[in-house]
Amino acid sequence: MTDVMKEKLVIIGSGPAGWTAAIYAARASLDPVVFEGAGSRTMIPGGQLMFTTDVENYPGFPDGVTGPEMMMGFKAQAERFGTRVFTEDVVKVDFSVHPRRLETTMGKVVEADAVIVATGANARWLGVPGEEHLARTGGGVSACAVCDGALPFFRDQTLAVVGGGDSAMEEAIYLTNFAAKVILIHRREEFRASPIMAERALGNPKIEVMWNTVVKEVLGEEEIRGLRVADTVSGEERELPVRGLFVAIGHEPNTRFLDGQIELKDNGYVQPAEGWRTATNVPGVFAAGDVMDDYYRQAVTAAGSGCMAALEAERWLAHGGIHQPEAAPVV
Active site residues: 144, 147-148
First and final C-alpha spacing in the chain: 50
Cβ partners under 8 Å of residue 77, min gap 6: 19, 23
Q: How far apart are CA 59 and CA 72, in angstroms?
A: 17
Query: Could you count the other beta carbons within 10 Å of the beta carbon of residue 243?
Result: 20
Task: Find out whether 217 and 126 touch, Cβ atoms under 8 Å.
Answer: no
3-state SS track over the chain: CCCEEEEEEEEECCHHHHHHHHHHHHHCCCCCEEECCCCCCCCCCCHHHHHCCCECCCCCCCCCECHHHHHHHHHHHHHHCCCEEECCCEEEEECCCCCEEEEECCCCEEEEEEEEECCCEEECCCCCCCHHHHHHCCCCEECCHHHHCCCHHHCCCEEEEECCCHHHHHHHHHHCCCCCEEEEECCCCCCCCCHHHHHHHHCCCCEEEECCEEEEEEECCCCCCEEEEEECCCCCEEEECCCEEEECCCEEECCHHHCCCCCECCCCCECCCCCCCCECCCCCEEECHHHCCCCCCCHHHHHHHHHHHHHHHHHHHHHCCCCCCCCCCCC
